[in-house]
Amino acid sequence: MSLRRNMVMIALAASVAGASLLVLAPYRRVAAADRLPDPLSDSAQSATGPKVLYDATALPVLVQRILKMIIVAAQSGDIEEMRPVLESNELKPMVAAKHVDDPIAYWKKHSVDGSGRDILADMLNMLSTGSVLTGKGYDAMYVWPYFAETDLRKLTPRQQVELYRMVPPERAAAMMKTGKYTGYRLGVSPAGVWHYFIQ
């Protein structure tokens, strides 16, 4: 992946000291010789599937805003910090097949230790990967991770490493065999509305 992508994702995944929020800012250009292998190069793309978007600063401003809020809350380690994010949203994101009144309580109930920290970790893991833009117009949605909209049987070696970083090896291997991603996915509309975080 490029140095630019590394720096952008660090900015997305890090909250700064004091009252400052995580910042998405332009970075200096680097010489071609300084660049790391780019996952977006033709040789790194899967054989088929939608374009993978790695540059978070290229996303709509309102999408960047909700991503920053989610990341800062997730990094706190306290799932209750996610409550203001949910309340600021136009609607509560879908977290299960059926309607859930309190996503925080639902996440705690379904976490491994009742704290919800593993759920927060899943959110951060997903947002550290690329996204894809699906649909058009009213149905348009930015989806993380991009694996959710990709045939996993056709991943490049670099993309396979990304998948192994997100899910246990045995589960990743099973997904690549079937071609289907079965983990958590997160969707945000171009208007910055968080629509779902669901398996």
Give pLDDT, residue 22.
39
Helix (H, G, I), strand (E, B) or coil at 78: coil
The pTM of the full predicted model, rounded to 2 decimals, is 0.75
Give pLDDT, residue 182.
95
DSSP label at residue 129: S
Helical pair 117-127 and 157-166, crossing angle rounded to 10 deg: 160
Give pLDDT, residue 49.
67
Nearest to 189 by CA among 39, 31, 67: 67
In angstroms, the CA 42 to CA 33 distance is 18
Q: What is the mean pLDDT of each run of 10 residues along the chain (199 residues)?
A: 44 37 36 38 50 92 96 96 92 91 95 94 92 94 96 95 94 96 95 94
